[in-house]
Amino acid sequence: MIEPLPEETVRRLVAAALAEDVGAGDVTTAAIVPPDRRGRGRIVAREALVVCGLPLARETFAALDTAVRFEDVIPDGGEADAGATIALVEGPAGALLTGERVALNFLQALSGIATLARRAVLEVAGTGAVVLDTRKTTPTLRAIEKYAVRVGGARNHRTGLYDAVLVKDNHLAVAGGITEAVRRLRAAGRDPATVEVEVDDLAGVEEALRAGVGRLLLDNFTPEQVAEAVARIAGRARIEVSGGLRPGRLRAFAEAGAHELSLGALTHSAPAVDIAFDMETTA
Residues labelled as active-site residues: 101, 136, 168, 198, 219
Q: Tell me the torsion sign for CA atoms 190, 196, 198, 202.
A: positive
Cβ–Cβ under 8 Å, residues 34 and 283: no
Cβ–Cβ under 8 Å, residues 226 and 257: yes
Between CA 269 and CA 264 the distance in angstroms is: 8
